[in-house]
């Protein structure tokens, strides 16, 4: 399944992002920790490389991701030049406090009121940019009592005299080349429901869970899953939850919605959809297909 959308304002958004980046010192790229490569918009990398801006990669929603996979991703990103990476949950105040000092390290010369640190927050939809922004803003408001410390004009937010944020809208790219990336993005809810078929995404997810996290799957839906493929697992979910269609057959559409909701909310456990090793293997596989 290939996922596509056609935002008419894509070019304008890119132009605007490039203009804003010219004013920023560090890009804070918010990623979904469960799929850090698939949730990275290639355009962000291109714009950043053009302007030579360092990047702080925030692997957000780390509370939902597999800690081992997240640790592997952090090692992977920390090997990239001009990049620092941290796993966070933007819902946790203690995690929010770690972000500013790390960003500051990437632009040590921007550290006073004359030259405030200017961070540009970027990321695809639903990775937690608004949650991050609200947390950063609230933190400061709380620290200064009831003084209005925050000035918001367009997308610029002056947190204090030493820190300015540029907020950008969630940027998607017009065509996702690798269908597996599309499925991961749909499973994590970065892509709107109109762009995919829930059952296809749930079958992909069920198959992946069966291979990678069978114990979590069994803990949630019972042990009768052994030997079943993705479709069979949806039927087992339907059976466990009593979802039948009028004619008596299992309602896979409902089962798909249940599985996706359980995954997205973390009810299934801490699950990552990719690791650096899986990603590298996938890239090799795609390259081999291209060569044929
Ligand atoms: P966006 O601006 O990038 O589009 O994302 P936004 O902040 O709106 O967050 C998207 C969803 O992700 C929200 O859930 C938000 O609560 C959730 N979220 C953000 N950061 C974290 C995190 O660190 N951990 C977890 N578990 N969730 C996070 P929602 O379902 O739309 O709303 P809500 O009911 O969860 O508030």
Count of domains forming the chain: 2
Domain extent at residue 208: 197-291
Looking at per-residue pLDDT, the higher value among 5 and 145 belongs to: 5
pLDDT at 149 over 50: no
Q: Are residue 36 and residue 151 in the same domain, yes or no? A: yes
Residue of 124, 128, 269 with the most ligand 1 atoms within 8 Å of its CB, for mutation:
128
Counting ligand 1 atoms within 8 A of each CB, the residue from 126, 135, 265 with the most, and so the one to mutate, is 126
Strands in 26-32's sheet, in edge-to-edge order, are 83-87, 55-60, 26-32, 117-122, 163-167, 156-160, 151-153
How many helices (DSSP H) and strands (DSSP E) are in the chain?
11, 7
List all residues whose CB is within 6 A of at least one atom of ligand 1: 60-61, 63-64, 89-91, 123, 125-131, 170
pLDDT at 221 over 60: yes
Assigned domain for 89 exists:
yes
Average the pLDDT over 203-218 and give the result. Answer: 95
Position in ligand 1 atom list of the atom nearest CA 132? 7
Asked whether the CA dihedral 266, 269, 272, 278 is positive or negative, the reply is: negative
Residue nearest to atom 27 of ligand 1 (CA): 61
Indicate yes or no: pTM above 0.85. Answer: yes
CATH assignment at residue 259:
1.10.1580.10
Same-domain check for residues 144 and 230: no
Co-location of 42 and 150 in the same domain:
yes
Q: Are residues 146 and 71 part of one domain?
A: yes
3-class DSSP assignment, residue 45 = helix
Across residues 265-286, what is the average pLDDT?
Answer: 95
Contact 85, 99 (CB under 8 A): no
Q: Is residue 172 part of a domain?
A: no
Distance of CA 260 to the CA centre of its chain: 16
Which of ligand 1's atoms lies nearest the C-alpha of 124? 3
**Same domain as 144, residue 13:** yes
Task: Kindly report, residue by residue over 62-106, the tens digit of the pLDDT.
Answer: 999 999 999 999 999 999 999 999 999 999 999 999 999 999 999
pLDDT tens digits along 161-194: 999 999 887 877 777 888 999 999 999 998 877 7
Residue with CA closest to ligand 1 atom 34: 265
Where among 119, 147, 167 does a domain terminate?
167
Of all atoms in ligand 1, which is nearest to the CA of residue 92?
23
Question: Cα-Cα-Cα-Cα dihedral of 167, 51, 71, 92, to 10°?
Answer: -20
C-alpha of residue 128 to centroid of ligand 1, in Å? 5
Looking at the fold, whether 41 and 129 belong to one and the same domain comes out as yes
> b/e for 174-184, b at 16 or more Cβ within 10 A?
eebeeebbbbb
Alpha-carbon span 41 to 120, nearest angstrom: 15
Nearest CA to ligand 1 atom 20: 128
- Per-residue pLDDT at 148 exceeds 50: no
Verify that 27 and 162 share a domain, yes or no: yes
Q: How much is the pLDDT for 162?
A: 94
User: Which residue's CA is minimally distant from atom 10 of ligand 1?
Assistant: 126
Residues 146 and 224 in one domain: no
Q: Do 160 and 205 lie in a common domain?
A: no
In a domain, 221, yes or no: yes
| Plot region of 269 (φ>0 → left; ψ -120 to 50 → alpha; else → beta) | left
């Amino acid at each position: 399944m290939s996922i596509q959308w056609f935002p008419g304002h894509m070019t304008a958004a890119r132009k605007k992002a490039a203009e804003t980046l010219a004013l920023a010192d560090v890009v804070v790229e918010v990623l979904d920790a469960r799929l850090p490569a698939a949730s990275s918009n290639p355009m962000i990398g291109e714009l950043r490389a053009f302007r030579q801006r360092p990047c702080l990669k925030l692997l957000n929603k780390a509370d939902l991701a597999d800690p081992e996979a997240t640790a592997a991703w952090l090692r992977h990103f920390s090997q990239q030049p001009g990049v620092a990476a941290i796993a966070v949950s933007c819902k946790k105040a203690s995690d929010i406090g770690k972000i500013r000092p790390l960003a500051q390290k990437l632009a040590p010369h921007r550290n006073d009121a004359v030259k405030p640190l200017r961070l540009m927050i970027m990321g695809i939809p639903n990775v937690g940019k608004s949650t991050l922004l609200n947390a950063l803003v609230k933190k400061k408001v709380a620290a200064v009592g009831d003084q209005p410390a925050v000035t918001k004009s367009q997308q610029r937010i002056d947190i204090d005299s030493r820190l300015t944020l540029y907020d950008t809208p969630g940027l998607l790219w017009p065509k996702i080349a690798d269908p597996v990336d599309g499925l991961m993005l749909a499973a994590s809810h970065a892509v709107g429901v109109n762009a995919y078929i829930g059952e296809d995404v749930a079958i992909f997810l069920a198959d992946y869970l069966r291979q990678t996290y069978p114990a979590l799957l069994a803990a949630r839906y019972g042990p009768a899953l052994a030997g079943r493929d993705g479709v069979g697992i949806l039927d087992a979910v339907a059976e466990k939850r009593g979802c039948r269609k009028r004619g008596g057959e299992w309602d896979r559409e409902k089962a798909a919605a249940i599985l996706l909701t359980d995954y997205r909310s973390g009810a299934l456990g801490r699950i990552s959809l990719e690791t650096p090793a899986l990603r590298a293997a996938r890239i090799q596989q795609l390259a081999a297909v291209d060569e044929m």
